[in-house]
Amino acid sequence: EAGVAQSPRYKIIEKRQSVAFWCNPISGHATLYWYQQILGQGPKLLIQFQNNGVVDDSQLPKDRFSAERLKGVDSTLKIQPAKLEDSAVYLCASSWSLNQPQHFGDGTRLSIL
């Protein structure tokens, strides 16, 4: 089966600009996750969707970050405006349901200048 697809792989922007990441989960996976991983740290869950509904977004900085999964398949994560501390790898994962193993994409490495 095809894995979780993410794009772009790399993105470099200046602070205060906007950026968007895209994730296509494994076909049929109802649960989708977005993580932020800062260099040297473990992944931090930003938001998790069950189909097109949000299960948990308690750690999403909602003043600048937004995410959607309108049709319950693909998802986009947006940062507007970006800050220097947003430099990180943004990982998308999906699973059949909430209590099933997660499959991870390769991530998008974001650098803020």
Binding residues vs another protein (CB under 8 A): 33, 37, 42-45, 48, 55-56, 58, 89, 91, 93, 98-104, 106-107
In angstroms, give the least distance from the CB of 37 to another protein: 8
**Closer CB to another protein, 53 or 84, in the complex:** 53
Amino acid residing at 101: P
Cα angle vertex 76, ends 75, 81, to 5°?
160
- Of the pair 46, 79, the CB lying nearest another protein is at 46
**In angstroms, rounded to a whole number, what is the distance separating the alpha carbons of residues 3 and 54?**
22
Nearer to another protein, 19 or 105 (CB): 105
CB of 40 to another protein, least distance (A): 10
Q: Specify whether the CB–CB gap between 56 and 46 falls below 8 A.
A: no
Smallest separation, CB 89 to another protein (Å): 6
- For 72: left if phi > 0, alpha if psi spans -120 to 50, otherwise beta; the answer is left
